[in-house]
């Protein structure tokens, strides 16, 4: 009996068979499909109407009045008036109009694709290939490029191209090979001068690197891989004043997207007039970087070349006489010493040695400037000249001392000291 009573409690609920439930599902599915098809049909009709409007009047139903205009016309949150010419946008709900003009006449073109064949014809014969070899195994240790400075055989290249070699050979544009000897090398600026015994050579035409502008044509000629003599790449000047540290010397370099490959070092960066405006020196070759090469401006190269030919080294360049390394923030915390320049060694003939600086001391200030890295210290030092005095502060075993040191002169005998 209780079972019957429980059953009767559900008599008021509508009962549907399995077939009825499946039919309901099919009917609802047809309704949804019909709604989607109807929406697609409406969208197609609107798109067709707009296309007809564009074909008939040049703009859909004239709604833009012959101009391309940016703005909200019907956002659903009130309606914005159609913008008018000459208005500007602002945060207070102002109007903005952007118009487009037709292309200017050919005479007004700002970008011209240059043919660099004339540049190459003028400059290529002044570019040489350089190969440096070791006597110990008679193998090449480096290859690069160079530029003929004078008809009687002076050639400029990078210092790293001829560094560490026992013999230097030069290959001219016509294939003639000469033995070369070193005149002088300056590793701080990566410039070297060599010479061959030859006459009536095609000397390069040198320009003024102070006059060049970002976006100008730049052409590089060189000897990539040491076997592709006379290879030409072209691009533009990407920047004219990139400050980079090269061999512990802060330098201002030209940046270009003309390909600077291995073996292009020491070769010329040339302007659209066929004039050398820089000496190719370095490139960023890490993964994720393309088209970032650097050249030493020719206005920087000129006085160095003249000094090397006259003295064999660059005179008057200051040096404190220290070999130093940077103390990172992590090392500072770990060893409980201040950030600065850790002194590894002191040049025996320097004033720094005479005044008692020693390995383990830390330079924290130059003048009143707090020093954290070598580049900042080099910039401060290079603002002076050999024979000048420089004020420094040194940390030693929990105490700070102030010293005034006399600067020495960088030369071939003190190349192992970076500050």
Cβ(352)–Cβ(406) below 8 Å? no
Burial bucket for residue 217 (CB in 10 Å: 0-12, 13-18, 19+)? buried
Cβ(263)–Cβ(142) below 8 Å? no
Rg (CA), the chain: 37
Give the DSSP H/E element, type plus range, for residue 266: none
* φ and ψ of 396, to 5 deg: -145, 115
- Residue 71's contacts (CB-CB under 8 Å, 6 or more residues apart) are 80, 83, 95, 96, 97
Angle at 222 between CA 216 and CA 223, to 5 degrees: 155
Residue of 190, 231, 238, 351 marked catalytic: 190
Q: How far are the Cα atoms of 131, 139, 192, 247 from residue 135, in angstroms, in the given order?
A: 13, 8, 21, 26
* φ and ψ of 102, to 5 deg: -75, 160
Beta bridge partners of 256: 237, 293
Residue 190 designated active-site: yes
* φ and ψ of 28, to 5 deg: -65, -35
Query: Dmax over Cα atoms in the chain, in whole Å?
Result: 129
Residue of 145, 209, 265, 281 marked catalytic: 265
| 413/419 Cα distance (integer angstroms) | 14
Would you tell me how many other CB atoms lie within 10 Å of the CB of residue 331? 13
| 202/173 Cα distance (integer angstroms) | 10
- Helix%, strand%, coil% for the chain, nearest 5: 25, 30, 45
Closest CA to 326 of 264, 419, 220: 419
Tokens describing residue 169: 């050979």
The DSSP output letter for 218 is E
Would you tell me how many other CB atoms lie within 10 Å of the CB of residue 78? 7
Q: Which active-site residues does the annotation give?
A: 160, 190, 265
């Amino acid at each position: 009996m209780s079972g019957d009573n429980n059953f009767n409690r559900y008599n008021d609920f509508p009962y549907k068979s399995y077939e009825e439930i499946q039919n309901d599902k099919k009917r609802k599915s047809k309704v949804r499909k019909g709604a989607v098809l109807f929406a697609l049909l409406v969208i197609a009709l609107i798109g067709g109407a707009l296309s007809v409007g564009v074909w008939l009047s040049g703009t859909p139903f004239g709604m833009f009045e012959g101009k391309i205009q940016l703005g909200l016309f019907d956002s659903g949150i009130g309606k914005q008036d159609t913008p008018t010419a000459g208005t500007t946008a602002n945060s207070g709900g102002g109007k903005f109009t952007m118009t487009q003009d037709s292309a200017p006449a050919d005479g007004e073109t700002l970008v011209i694709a240059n043919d660099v064949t004339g540049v190459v014809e003028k400059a290529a014969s002044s570019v040489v290939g350089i190969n440096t070899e070791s006597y110990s195994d008679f193998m090449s240790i480096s290859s690069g490029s160079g530029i003929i400075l004078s008809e009687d055989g002076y050639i400029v290249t990078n210092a790293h191209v001829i560094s560490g070699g026992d013999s230097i050979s030069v290959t001219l544009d016509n294939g003639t090979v000469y033995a070369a000897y070193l005149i002088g090398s300056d590793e701080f600026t990566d410039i070297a001068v060599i010479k061959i015994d030859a006459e009536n050579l095609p000397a390069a035409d040198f320009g003024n690197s102070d006059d060049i502008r970002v976006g100008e044509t730049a052409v590089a000629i060189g000897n990539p891989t040491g076997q592709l003599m006379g290879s030409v790449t072209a691009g533009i000047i990407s920047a004219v004043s990139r400050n980079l540290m090269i061999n512990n010397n802060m330098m201002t370099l030209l940046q270009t997207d003309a390909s600077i490959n291995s073996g292009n070092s020491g070769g010329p960066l040339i302007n659209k007039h066929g004039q050398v405006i820089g000496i190719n020196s370095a490139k960023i070759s890490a993964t994720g970087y393309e088209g970032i090469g650097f050249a030493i401006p020719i206005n920087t190269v000129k006085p160095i070349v003249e000094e090397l030919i006259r003295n064999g080294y660059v005179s008057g360049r200051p040096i404190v006489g220290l070999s130093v390394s940077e103390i990172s923030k992590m090392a500072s915390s770990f060893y409980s010493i201040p950030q600065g320049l850790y002194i590894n060694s002191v040049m025996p003939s320097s004033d720094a040695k005479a005044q008692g600086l020693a390995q383990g001391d830390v330079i924290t200030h130059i003048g009143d400037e707090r020093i954290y890295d070598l580049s900042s210290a080099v910039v401060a030092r290079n603002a002076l000249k050999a024979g000048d005095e420089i004020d420094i502060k040194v940390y030693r075993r929990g105490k700070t001392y102030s010293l005034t040191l006399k600067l020495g002169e960088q030369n071939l005998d003190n190349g192992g000291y970076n500050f």
